Amino acid sequence: MPRDSPVPGARVVLALGTVFGLASLVRTAVVTPGEVALNFRVYYGAAEAFLAGGPLYGQSPVGTDWLVYLYPPLTVLAFVPFTLLPLAAAYVVFTALSVAGGLALAGVLIRAVERHGQSLGRVDRLLVAGFVVCGIYTVPSLVFGQVNLLLALAVAVGFVALASGRDRLAGSALGLAAFVKVFPAGFGLWLVRRRSWHAVGAAVATGGGLLAAGLVLGPAVTVAYVTEALLPRTARGAFTGGLGPNATFLTVRRPLSLLFPGSSVARTVGAVALLAPVVAVGCWRVDTTRRRLVATFTIVAGVLLALPSYPIYYVVLAYPLVPLLYLFEGPGRRLFTVGAALAMATVYLNDVRAGLTALGLPAPMHDALLSVLTPLLTVGTVPLYGFALCLAGCLRYQVAGGRDDPSATRGRRASDER
């Protein structure tokens, strides 16, 4: 029978994510307004270059070396219609489409929660929508004019379709996401774990077919994509010498960069060695709804944390993060919820220093706190520690054999959630 009682932990996490997102939006408007439409200007410029017969890859359409077009050739056709409008108007239209995609994603998440027995009232629905559209991992995509919110919708549709037995739709949606951004190809581990070979085939056919279709724009363009955009798509240089405490990367390669400051191979092998066992245990049992959600989260978070990821990519975690906040019951729930709350706090060492200075603490206390927080926030960020706790909660659930029946765990919550 559906439950309609509030889930305080879920509300706290969603509210925190929304508040930090709105604070990020205000900060951008006041401090760095030049970041508005940063990526969209690249998409728009690439479409203009394509129409003019110019190169898509190897040079910046906006005259900034690191702002280059990185997507497969066929994707540029999606941005061509925007060139019918002035840049500012095109950005507004693109942002409106992204927000519409975000609201559709919120609908997918709400239905996923309610389909599994947790009825959501108006407050929770608003929190889910606010978190998806205005959350800390969404706002930068909207500000920059990035495609990540639409990508998150495709990923969520793929996972939900797989859960409801629509394997070909699942594979097609995930294949589309992987075609655009590449890294969602790692989420195919879930298709393999479920032994959904129809979904695997659909994913490969979709991604490969769209890449092959790009050949109609000329084989040379596809070769340029592979050699000038796909293969160099790495942040190895940023990790050389060890990441600084205010670098925004959200990945286990942060602490590994301090251990192996000169070896990208060691960092890559180390990331796989750390996370592969976590993913394996997180996917150990998949015979119930909650275990499947836990396994999905473990795979998505594991892939993101293994790569040299920016926080902006973590919007694709909306599913299964939001459903788990409402549906996670039993061993590991508290770890998961506390970790998710910490993951919303995108606070870096400079922010902590500014906060301590503003508090006007006595010098000995100020220095003592910094002596503890500086190494902690150099080795990892608050969100990195948060997602580590989330994964720990997932492993606790799988190892303890958490049940799928809420009534079976509710009576033991006091002991099980420790």
pLDDT tens by residue, 42-93: 999 999 999 999 999 988 887 777 889 999 999 999 999 999 999 999 999 9
- CA dist 402 and 359 (Å) reads 44
Question: pLDDT averaged over the chain?
Answer: 91
Phi, psi of 346 (to 5 degrees): -80, 75
Q: Crossing angle, helix 197-213 and helix 167-181, to 10 degrees?
A: 40
Check residues 298 and 401 and name the one with the higher pLDDT: 298
**Strands (DSSP E) found in 42-173:** none
- pLDDT above 50: residue 416: no
Q: Can you give the pLDDT at residue 409?
A: 39
Q: Which amino acid is at 35?
A: E
Q: Tell me the CA distances in angstroms from 10 to 17, 131, 170, 298, 347, one per residue in order.
A: 11, 11, 27, 18, 21
**Are 145 and 179 in contact, with CB atoms under 8 Å apart?**
no
Q: Kindly report the three-state secondary structure assignment for every residue of 81-95.
A: HHHHCCHHHHHHHHH
Strand partners, 236: none
- pLDDT above 80: residue 4: no
Q: What is the band of 402 on the pLDDT scale with cuts at 50, 70, 90?
A: low
Nearest C-alpha neighbor of 176 from the set 75, 39, 99: 75
| Residue 364 CB coordination number (10 Å) | 8
Nearest C-alpha neighbor of 109 from the set 285, 250, 365, 293: 293
Q: What is the band of 6 on the pLDDT scale with cuts at 50, 70, 90?
A: confident
Phi, psi of 118 (to 5 degrees): -110, 110
Q: Can you give the pLDDT at residue 399?
A: 92
**Neighbouring residues of 172: CB distance < 8 A, sequence distance ≥ 6:** 158, 202, 203, 205, 206
Place of tokens 């774990």: 193
Strand partners, 3: 118
| Residue 323 CB coordination number (10 Å) | 31
Helix (H, G, I), strand (E, B) or coil at 75: helix
Cα 110 from chain centroid (whole Å) = 18
Quick one: tokens of 389? 């706790």
Q: Can you give the pLDDT at residue 410?
A: 39
User: Could you tell me what percent of the chain has a pLDDT over 70?
Assistant: 94
| pLDDT (tens digit per residue) in 326-343 | 999 889 999 999 999 999
Q: Can you give the pLDDT at residue 414?
A: 36
- pLDDT above 70: residue 178: yes
Q: Which amino acid is at 78?
A: A
| pLDDT (tens digit per residue) in 208-246 | 999 999 999 989 999 999 988 888 766 557 888 888 898
